[in-house]
């Protein structure tokens, strides 16, 4: 394992402690690490507070408390509102495919004929440092349509078709850490690392292609955790100069 200080402006408070990888040069740039560090410093305390809320709530349920609706959310349940309109490339979601973020899977899934490919950094992916960083590289290349794989053993070359599935990204859950990146000496949230890297490198590219960054958010347990994601998205859009409301998310209920 190697330990590197990544200089961000005049700071040296972001450390990459995972091994150096071929994908590191393009994915783990000082600017991208600074963006992730900004997310960590702004949102990680809220993340940890909500994880404590999870534990306390589960303890009450284990003791016999029955889950119910909150008085403070009555306006949401009974109000007259609707979500924003669905982007054109998310209108049709009849057939969706999911899988890990290795290079061959990304190419084959996007070429599969499905309406949507959910690239999964969570359950489908073994969260090794190499898998997570190289997965970001694979999505980086897929968004730019430069992704390519040569299988010399089979004599095959894998590339994207002209028509491909719409890309969704499933980051790791709020409870997980990316211990290979330290911000101010603390492991960064795996959720913020996955989303931060993806939007920093790809949000502008997606906008130029009349699309945006779309996500599938795993393992949320309260509306407050969903609200935290909304704050992360809004902040990221503002910092990156992306129109507010461009990022979209699917949440399993």
CA-to-CA separations, 147 to 5, 105, 161, 204, 249, in angstroms, rounded: 30, 11, 11, 18, 25
Q: What residues are paired with 188 via a beta bridge?
A: 178
- Whether residue 76 lies inside any domain: the answer is no
pLDDT given at position 6 = 42
- Whether residue 82 lies inside any domain: the answer is no
pLDDT given at position 233 = 99
Helix, strand, or coil (residue 112): coil
How far apart CA 228 and CA 222 sit, in angstroms, is 10
What is the full per-residue pLDDT of the chain (253 aa) written as tens digits? 344 444 444 454 899 999 999 888 999 999 999 999 999 999 999 999 999 999 999 999 999 999 889 999 999 899 999 888 999 999 999 999 999 999 999 999 999 999 999 999 999 999 999 999 999 999 999 999 999 999 888 889 999 999 999 999 999 999 999 999 999 999 999 999 999 999 999 999 999 999 999 999 999 999 999 999 999 999 999 999 999 999 999 998 7
Sequence-ordered list of residues with C-beta below 8 angstroms from that of 94, at least 6 positions apart, any chain: 115
- Whether residue 189 lies inside any domain: the answer is yes
pLDDT given at position 10 = 42
Residue recorded with tokens 């909500």: 50
- Whether residue 79 lies inside any domain: the answer is no
pLDDT given at position 227 = 96
Per the structure, the complete domain to which residue 230 belongs is given by 4-66+92-251
Per-residue HEC secondary structure of 62-75 comes to HCCCCCCCCHHHHH
Rounded to the nearest 5°, which phi and psi values hold at 213? -90, 120
> How many structural domains comprise the chain?
1
- Whether residue 74 lies inside any domain: the answer is no
Residue recorded with tokens 């190499």: 130
- Whether residue 75 lies inside any domain: the answer is no
pLDDT given at position 153 = 85
pLDDT given at position 252 = 81
How far apart CA 173 and CA 158 sit, in angstroms, is 31
Q: Most distant CA pair in the chain: distance in Å? A: 63
pLDDT given at position 60 = 95
- Whether residue 151 lies inside any domain: the answer is yes
Tokens of 128: 């090794």
Q: Domain with 144 in it: what CATH number?
A: 3.20.20.360
How far apart CA 112 and CA 110 sit, in angstroms, is 6
Asked if 33 and 6 count as a contact pair (C-beta separation under 8 A), the reply is yes
How far apart CA 169 and CA 182 sit, in angstroms, is 23
């Amino acid at each position: 394992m190697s330990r590197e200080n990544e200089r961000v402006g005049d700071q040296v408070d972001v450390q990459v402690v995972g091994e150096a990888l071929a994908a590191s040069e393009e994915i783990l740039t000082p600017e991208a690490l600074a963006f992730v560090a900004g997310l960590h410093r702004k949102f990680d305390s809220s993340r940890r507070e909500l994880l404590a809320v999870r534990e306390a709530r589960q303890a009450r349920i284990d003791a016999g408390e029955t889950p119910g609706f909150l008085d403070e959310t009555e306006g949401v349940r009974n109000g007259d509102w609707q979500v924003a309109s669905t982007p054109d490339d998310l209108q049709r979601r009849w057939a969706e495919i999911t899988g890990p973020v290795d290079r061959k899977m990304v190419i084959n899934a996007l070429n599969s004929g499905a309406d949507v490919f959910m690239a999964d950094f969570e359950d489908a992916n073994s969260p090794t440092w190499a898998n997570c960083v190289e997965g970001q590289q694979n999505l980086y290349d897929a968004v730019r349509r430069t992704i390519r794989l040569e299988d010399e053993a089979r004599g095959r070359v894998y590339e994207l078709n002209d028509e491909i599935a719409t890309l969704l990204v499933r980051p790791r859950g709020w409870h997980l850490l990316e211990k290979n990146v330290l911000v101010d000496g603390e492991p960064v949230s795996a959720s913020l690392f996955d989303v931060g890297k993806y939007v920093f490198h790809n949000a502008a590219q997606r906008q130029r292609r009349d699309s945006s960054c779309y996500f599938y958010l795993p393992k949320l347990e309260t509306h407050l955790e969903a609200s935290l994601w909304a704050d992360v998205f809004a902040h990221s859009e503002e910092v990156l100069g992306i129109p507010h409301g461009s990022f979209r998310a699917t949440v399993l209920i």
